[in-house]
Amino acid sequence: MTIEPYLVEHADGIAALCDRLGWPTYADPDVARRGCAAPGVVVRVAVEDGRVVGFAQAMGDGVMQSFLSQLAVAPGHRRRGVARRLVEAVFAATGTERMDLVTDDAEAFYRSFPHRAKPGFRIYPG
């Protein structure tokens, strides 16, 4: 398995993975293609035997602050260090000193990284 910078050829695999995980937004290959190549976005992709088995997406200013917006790993590839490698690779690629994130169900995983826990919010338009 390799961790690679995002290429447009990965979009269909990212969409298929999101569809399998029940993540509707990036389950559309066109949305995945546009979102992964948007300005300020950094994506790293886990590829095994030519197939996307995971990806991490972050946004940042390239200096101080970044935000991990998505991390997905195919169920059959979990608990093998794929997620950790993706987080480390995408964080390094942002060129920032810190990375924030929001999680609903992976607190133990993120606590395994050097961190400071902070309360947060996800704001939606009116």
Domains present along the chain, CATH in parentheses = 2-111 (3.40.630.30)
The strand pair at 65-73 and 98-101 is best described as parallel
Distance CA 66, CA 45 (A): 18
The 10s digit of each residue's pLDDT in 91-100 is: 999 999 999 9
CB neighbourhood size of 54 (10 A) = 25
The 10s digit of each residue's pLDDT in 54-90 is: 999 999 999 999 999 999 999 999 999 999 999 999 9
